Amino acid sequence: MPQTPSRTLSDHEKALLQIRSVPRPQAQAAARKRAKAKAQGQTESPLALTRQARKINRILAQTYPYAVAELDFDNPYQLLVATVLSAQTTDVRVNSVTPHLFDRYPQPADLAAARQEDVEDLVRPLGFYRNKASAIIRLAAALHQNHQGQVPQKLEDLVKLPGVGRKTAFVVLSNAFGQPGLTVDTHFGRLARRLGFTQQEDPVKVEKDVAALFPPKDWAGLSHHLVYQGRRICHAQRPACGACPIADLCPSYGIGEEDEQKAAALLKYELAPGREELHLLFLQGASRRQLQAQGYPLSA
């Protein structure tokens, strides 16, 4: 499937593709204003920070209305295993492996009884395949033996499972069970600090600070928005500040590329140059699985 549109986009489609644009002078003026206030010893009140944070989340929700968990799954067991496998690899790569894994081991009892060598062969493309195979076999055994093959729906039970920490537990609780939860992964933590939501490095402290700024009903969506923003625009090494929809609101504006054209070239995934048709299909409601089946590339 070609990555570039094979037809002329309509005015309506072009409008759909437009994300909030902040002119460079406007973003720079906002940055100077923040710097001046800081130099004068002025601090943002908790109420002002809360309002700012929620405004940022609203803009990101408009930018990524299709934001969902990027791991493919059909049930809580699949999401739990996929999340454990996603350590130190990409969701796209995990999604290329899990269909074969779950076809062969559709239930925790099946995976618990598997030969490690067989599981290693299936998860080999993910790296650290011996450790990962061992981890998901032990996880499946715990589900089978202690929870009747069901994924528990309480945080305190999930984190007792082998290889499951708070981040993995909240991925499952929020995406598989619809419970409020903040998923503090690498992208979330980096964005939360850059946006001034927290100064903490410890994930549990980050979670506490950010949770105080938003109502629980917004936690799952916020988690997706920050992860999407971190993967597509606010990169760890070279953020695309000049293409950022929240450039005028971000305390860290200027740490990356400010030039609009150069920043646009840094965009990833469906926002990357030449992927307008993919972006449009996401906006029109196509699922990741549908697009992958049609041959669209979903990697960065």
Name the 3-class secondary structure at 124: helix
Read off the pLDDT of residues 250-274 as tens digits, 9 standing for 90 and up.
999 999 999 999 999 999 999 999 9
Residue 210 one-letter amino acid: V
Read off the pLDDT of residues 25-53 as tens digits, 9 standing for 90 and up.
999 999 999 999 999 999 899 999 999 99
What is the pLDDT averaged over residues 228-246?
Answer: 98
What is the pLDDT averaged over residues 177-204?
Answer: 97
Instruction: Supply the pTM of this predicted model.
Output: 0.93
Residue 295 one-letter amino acid: G
Q: Which domains does the chain have, with CATH numbers?
A: 11-68+213-291 (no CATH), 76-176 (1.10.340.30)
Residue 58 to residue 218: CA distance in whole angstroms: 10
What proportion of the chain, given as a percentage, has pLDDT over 90? Answer: 94
- Model confidence at 6, pLDDT cuts 50, 70, 90, reads low
End-to-end CA distance of the chain: 16
Which helix or strand (DSSP H or E) is residue 32 part of? helix 24-39
Retrieve residue 265's tokens: 């070239």
User: Contacts for 283-286 with beta carbons within 8 Å, 24 or more apart?
Assistant: 283/16, 283/17, 283/65, 283/66, 284/16, 285/66
Q: At what angle do helices 76-85 and 91-104 cross, to 10 degrees?
A: 130
Burial per residue of 212-225, b for 16 or more beta-carbon CB atoms within 10 angstroms, e otherwise: ebbeeebbbbbbbb
pLDDT at 9: 87
Name the 3-class secondary structure at 126: helix
Read off the pLDDT of residues 222-233 as tens digits, 9 standing for 90 and up.
999 999 999 999
pLDDT at 4: 46
What proportion of the chain, given as a percentage, has pLDDT over 70? Answer: 98
What is the pLDDT averaged over residues 118-147?
Answer: 98
Q: Tell me whether residue 2 is exposed, middle or buried, using C-beta atoms within 10 angstroms of its C-beta: 0 to 12, 13 to 18, 19 or more.
A: exposed
Catalytically active residues, by annotation: 167, 185
Give the gyration radius of the chain's Cα atoms: 21
- Residue 163 reports pLDDT greater than 80: yes
Residue 260 to residue 240: CA distance in whole angstroms: 8
Residue with tokens 């206030």, as numbered in its chain: 37
pLDDT at 1: 43
pLDDT at 2: 45
Closest residue by Cα to residue 170 from 89, 79, 241, 102: 79
Residue 48 to residue 208: CA distance in whole angstroms: 18
What is the pLDDT averaged over residues 167-178?
Answer: 97
Mean pLDDT of the chain: 95
Name the 3-class secondary structure at 249: coil
pLDDT at 8: 84
Burial per residue of 23-41, b for 16 or more beta-carbon CB atoms within 10 angstroms, e otherwise: eeeebbebbeebeeeeeee
